[in-house]
Amino acid sequence: MTVATARRERLADAAIDTLAREGLRGLTHRAVDRTAGVPEGSCSYYFRTRQALLTAAVDRLAELDAADIAALPAPPDPTELGENDAVEALARMVERWVTTGRVQMLARYELALEATRRSELRVMLVAAGVRFRAIAEGLLAAMGAAEPARQAPIFVACLDGLIFDHLAGAGALELKPDELRAALRDLLRAFTGPGRRAD
């Protein structure tokens, strides 16, 4: 990794932290410089405009999400995926995003709200979410869903709602590990039926 690439990544991470802490209004080049602990003007040097900074944040979120997904254990053959395997994989992902990945999720929600007013940002976020919808489609197909391609975006939306409520929703949902797994099992069965097997 070159020095320039490392600096851009550091600034993109700082932009995500700033979004999570201060929201879109607090996202300025100077604020990102302060968060990253770099000389003033560094952020504007690498990301000349606010749009460029937002794009960097979305791209970096996608990279971090991909790393999270790659870190999850997965069976070598999707046809061997059991219900318990699927529930555990989903639970680990949700637990990651409401704990150590909390900043990423809060930044994503800030961006999603801004995307309702900025079509170009919405396009970027939709494109970044393609990976999740594809993974969800594969999971649902492996579990015997009738129409995985159609169901996958809805399944992802349900998971996202669960995470959002935990982090920021009025319901203040805080599920214990066993409660989370029971909820995810219910959700999975709602899309696939009773599942093929427990293990």
Would you say residue 9 lies in a domain?
no
Would you say residue 143 lies in a domain?
yes
Q: What pLDDT, in 10s, does the model give residues 83-129?
A: 888 899 899 989 999 999 999 999 999 999 988 988 888 998 888 88
Would you say residue 97 lies in a domain?
yes
> Model's pTM, two decimal places?
0.85
From CA 157, how far away is CA 153, in angstroms rounded?
6
Query: For residue 159, what is the domain's CATH number?
Result: 1.10.357.10
Separation in Å, CA 184 to CA 3, 48, 84, 125, 189: 43, 43, 10, 25, 8
Count structural domains, the chain: 1
Would you say residue 118 lies in a domain?
yes
Structural domain harbouring 178: 57-192
* DSSP conformation class of 196: S
Would you say residue 5 lies in a domain?
no
Q: What pLDDT, in 10s, does the model give residues 120-176?
A: 889 988 888 888 898 899 889 988 899 999 999 999 999 999 999 988 877 667 889
Scan for tokens 């990279």, then name that residue.
63
Would you say residue 144 lies in a domain?
yes
Q: What pLDDT, in 10s, does the model give residues 51-86?
A: 999 999 999 998 888 887 777 665 545 566 688 888
Taking a C-beta distance cutoff of 8 angstroms, is the pair 12, 56 a contact? yes
Q: What pLDDT, in 10s, does the model give residues 10-54?
A: 999 999 999 999 999 999 999 999 999 999 999 999 999 999 999
